[in-house]
């Protein structure tokens, strides 16, 4: 890969950001040294390892690599039989622990998709026994445990005991008669030997070995002769301790040296695995997806987000290359995102070639190009005496020489920095060369002739960065198929340039260039407007589809409910008919038994009449038993008088007029046990005499012509058994008529009738719920029943 192009596409910044997620210094070095691969199999292998790392870390919750220092130099010394210190052995132990945890975390996951990393972990070596020995014996960077060996424990126990004996002896000296010879009543040490501080004038009084003198000369540090032998024994024990410590360290170091090669391999394998873990964590933080990789030069980025732009500000961009066309010519306003889009395309290909997932949508595809060339920005060089154009054209010349069919070419502002006529002519020739070579590429431009050229040549397609003409701001999204207007003068106007200058600039534009820019601008505005309308239409279509689906669901639900109610009603009707038929047959059977007698007694006739009345009351015959049909007429003060039968709409019942006040337009009426005063305009005159006590204004379910379903029943004035009987029959007929809600008018009175009806309704199998009437429905004088 071209190193300058890698730098211009800022792959190093991506690698640096990824390296921050690595735990080991070796992994950071691996990531920093990553080079994009053009081998398709190798690229897919790296991407697969990144995918497995994502599953391990974020699906199965596997532990990452535990940190350890670079111990290459220590392992090398141990292999040459050099003895390692306590601190160095602890560093080696950290490597052993990290290797063991990495192996167990990868192989402890029951997932058949984890194949490659499981294979890598098979190369990891760890020695749990050596790890435990170092952990137990080396308790700090400069000390071994007392229990590192039996000999060391014995030596240190004797040293401890001897120290106590020496201190006890010296303590007697300090607190005895010789205390007056001492400068201080303390025991101190000089050269690993216990001594006491004696005043200079009394040093001849204390027999022993002088080890030191204070700077002032007033104090001599003397080792009394009676602890001299004890101190000599203590020094000998300390020598034994050092030798035993050296022996233990040498033994542990030898064991490390024996596995030097395997530990070196561990460091490399763990660094490699950690580098994939770091790539996985970096990709997870950017919400990346696995790209599809190919070698046929096809690139299809779907909603790609440049990884180096703040994720809260970046605008997703989609582009396709290498399918119907090999080159994209991107034009449009300055600061519209042309260069970012060009760099994003190249960077995505490089990231995938390094084993990175891409911050884009599912379905994104990139190519593992053999080489990627990029010329972006101002590359002028003072040292090499190169102008901007010279530097630019030098890079383009190198591209023309080296680019092949498997290359990706990215050029920002091809032909810029010189005379526009010569620049656009040069740009056409360079594009023609690249098309002939067969490579893929993206070129940005402001040259109008180059945009026109793209319409006339196969293999290259115009594209534009969207621009909001109303706000004069770029939208940072690409549209393929149309060139974009540069909008340079409009941008200058937005940035505050004087209007007179801009108006004058317009007059200097060539007629052809001005016309082309105007056409492109109007086409772009029309396309943006059309897309807005399309979005609105699609939104409305989706909204109406959702509403239509909801209506269809409701219709289906209602149909199911209706079918259920109809089925229930049919079943209930059959049950009622069967019950009534059985009762009728039973009554008829009894009557037949009576008429079989040769002579009928008076009691037989009464019984036969009773059976006939029961049969008639149950309305099993072919006649229709009908209550009195009433005709209503609006009541007025002139035609209303005391004793008239009237219909009161608010109670939905017939009552009797008790008194009339024509002046006030009011009347007092009695509806059963209810007495109320109301306006005459609320009353209707009822033809004929008032109803009898037991007369019910409902039609019985006769077998003749069907009658209109009744929604209410009036049981005012009935006894409780009579009312319950009529209410049961009324509910049965309502179920057969598929009614959902019916009303029973029972009045207020003492509340006995209302309570009895409520008790019956609570246990009725066809009643779903019931309630007293509300204001305007009759209130506590009526009960509203909802049927199942």
Least confident segment among 270-274, 346-350, 682-686, 754-758: 682-686
User: At residue 212, does pLDDT exceed 60?
Assistant: yes
Q: Which residue has the tokens 């772009």?
A: 524
Q: Which has the higher per-residue pLDDT, 487 or 246?
A: 246
Alpha carbon distance 46, 243 (integer Å): 52
pLDDT in tens, 82-115: 999 999 999 999 999 999 999 999 999 988 999 9
Question: Of the candidates 291, 302, 309, which has an alpha carbon nearest to the alpha carbon of residue 356?
Answer: 291
Alpha carbon distance 43, 49 (integer Å): 10
Q: Which residue has the tokens 């040292």?
A: 383
Average pLDDT over all residues of the chain? 82
Q: Treating both helix axes as pointing N-terminal to C-terminal, what angle do 448-456 and 511-595 enclose, rounded to 10 degrees?
A: 60
pLDDT in tens, 123-169: 999 999 999 999 999 999 999 999 999 999 999 999 999 888 888 87
User: At residue 174, does pLDDT exceed 80?
Assistant: no
Residue 350 CB coordination number (10 Å): 25
Rounded percentage of the chain residues whose pLDDT exceeds 90:
37
The tokens of 182 are what?
């001492």
Q: What is the pTM of this model?
A: 0.61
Q: Is 202 exposed, middle or buried (0-12, 13-18, 19+ CB in 10 A)?
A: middle
Q: Which has the higher per-residue pLDDT, 604 or 396?
A: 396
Least confident segment among 71-80, 109-118, 501-510, 531-540: 501-510
Q: Which residue has the tokens 């939905």?
A: 652
Sign of the C-alpha dihedral computed for residues 726, 727, 728 and 729 taken in this order:
positive
635 touches 616 (CB < 8 A): no
Question: Of the candidates 749, 762, 735, which has an alpha carbon nearest to the alpha carbon of residue 653?
Answer: 749
Q: Which residues pair with 666 in a beta bridge?
A: 661, 679
Rounded percentage of the chain residues whose pLDDT exceeds 70:
81
pLDDT in tens, 459-499: 999 888 776 655 556 666 788 877 766 566 666 666 677 77
Alpha carbon distance 260, 266 (integer Å): 10
Alpha carbon distance 45, 364 (integer Å): 18
User: At residue 172, does pLDDT exceed 80?
Assistant: no
pLDDT at 691: 42
Q: Give the pLDDT band (50/70/90) at residue 401.
A: very high
């Amino acid at each position: 890969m071209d190193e300058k192009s890698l730098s211009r596409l800022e792959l190093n910044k991506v690698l640096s950001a990824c390296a921050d997620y690595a735990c080991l210094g070796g992994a950071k070095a691996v990531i920093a040294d990553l080079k994009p691969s053009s081998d398709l199999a190798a690229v897919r292998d790296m991407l697969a390892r990144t995918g497995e790392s994502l599953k391990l870390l974020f699906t199965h919750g596997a532990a990452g690599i535990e940190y350890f220092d670079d111990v290459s130099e220590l392992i090398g010394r141990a292999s040459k039989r050099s003895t390692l210190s306590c601190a160095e052995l602890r560093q080696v132990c950290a490597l052993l622990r990290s290797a063991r945890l990495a192996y167990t975390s990868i192989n402890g996951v029951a997932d058949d998709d984890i194949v490659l990393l499981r294979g890598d972990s098979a190369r990891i070596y760890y020695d749990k026994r050596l790890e435990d020995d170092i952990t137990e014996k080396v308790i700090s960077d400069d000390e071994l445990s007392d229990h590192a060996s039996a000999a060391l424990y014995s030596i240190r126990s004797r040293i401890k005991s001897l120290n106590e004996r020496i201190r006890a002896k010296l303590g007697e000296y300090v607190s005895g008669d010789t205390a007056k010879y001492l400068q201080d009543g303390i025991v101190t040490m000089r050269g690993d030997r216990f001594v006491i501080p004696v005043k200079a004038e009394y040093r001849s009084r204390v027999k022993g070995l002088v080890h030191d003198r204070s700077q002032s000369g007033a104090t001599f540090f003397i080792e009394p002769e009676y602890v001299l032998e004890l101190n000599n024994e203590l020094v000998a024990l300390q020598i034994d301790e050092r030798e035993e410590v050296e022996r233990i360290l040498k033994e542990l170091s030898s064991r490390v040296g024996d596995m030097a090669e395997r530990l070196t391999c561990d460091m490399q394998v763990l660094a490699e695995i950690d580098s994939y873990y770091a790539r996985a964590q970096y990709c997870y933080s950017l919400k990346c997806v696995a790209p599809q990789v190919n070698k046929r030069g096809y690139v299809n980025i779907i909603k790609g987000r440049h990884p180096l732009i703040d994720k809260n500000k970046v605008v997703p961009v989609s582009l396709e290359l290498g399918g119907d066309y090999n080159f994209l010519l991107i034009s449009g306003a300055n600061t519209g995102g042309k260069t970012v889009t060009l760099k994003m395309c190249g960077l995505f290909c490089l990231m995938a070639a390094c084993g990175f997932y891409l911050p884009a949508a599912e379905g994104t595809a990139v190519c593992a190009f053999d080489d990627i060339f990029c010329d972006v920005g101002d590359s002028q060089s003072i040292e090499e005496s190169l102008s901007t154009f010279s530097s630019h054209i030098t890079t383009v010349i190198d591209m023309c020489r080296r680019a092949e069919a498997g290359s990706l070419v990215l050029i920002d502002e091809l032909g810029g920095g010189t005379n526009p006529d010569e620049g656009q002519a040069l740009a056409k020739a360079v594009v023609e060369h690249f098309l002939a070579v067969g490579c893929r590429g993206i070129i940005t431009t402001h040259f109008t002739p180059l945009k026109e050229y793209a319409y006339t040549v196969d293999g290259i397609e115009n594209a534009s960065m969207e621009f909001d003409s109303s706000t004069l701001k770029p939208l940072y999204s690409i549209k393929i198929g149309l060139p974009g207007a540069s909008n340079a003068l409009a941008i200058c106007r937005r940035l505050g340039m004087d209007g007179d200058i801009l108006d004058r600039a317009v007059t200097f534009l060539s007629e052809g260039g001005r016309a082309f820019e105007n056409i492109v601008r109007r086409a772009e505005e029309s396309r943006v407007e059309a897309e807005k309308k399309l979005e609105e239409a699609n939104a409305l279509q989706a909204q109406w589809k959702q509403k239509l689906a909801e209506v269809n669901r409701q219709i289906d639900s209602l149909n199911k409910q209706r079918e259920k109610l109809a089925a229930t009603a049919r079943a209930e009707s059959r049950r009622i008919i069967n019950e009534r038929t059985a009762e009728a047959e039973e009554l008829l059977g009894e009557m037949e038994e009576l008429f079989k007698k040769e002579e009928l007694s008076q009691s037989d006739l009464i019984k036969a009449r009773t059976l006939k009345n029961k049969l008639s009351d149950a309305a099993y015959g072919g006649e229709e038993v009908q209550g009195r049909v009433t005709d209503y007429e609006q009541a007025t003060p002139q035609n209303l008088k005391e004793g008239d039968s009237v219909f009161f709409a608010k109670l939905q019942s017939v009552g009797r007029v008790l008194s009339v006040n024509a002046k006030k337009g009011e009347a007092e009426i009695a509806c059963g046990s209810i007495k109320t005063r109301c306006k005459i305009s609320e009353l209707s005159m009822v033809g004929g005499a008032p109803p009898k006590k037991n007369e019910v204004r409902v039609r019985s379910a006769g077998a003749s012509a069907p009658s209109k379903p009744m929604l209410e029943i009036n049981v005012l004035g009935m006894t409780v058994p009579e009312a319950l009987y009529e209410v049961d029959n009324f509910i049965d007929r309502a179920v057969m008529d598929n009614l959902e809600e019916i009303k029973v008018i029972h009045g207020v009175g003492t509340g006995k009738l209302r309570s009895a009806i409520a008790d019956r309704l609570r246990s009725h199998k066809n009643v779903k719920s019931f309630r007293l009437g509300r204001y305007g429905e009759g209130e506590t004088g009526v009960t509203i029943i909802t049927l199942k």
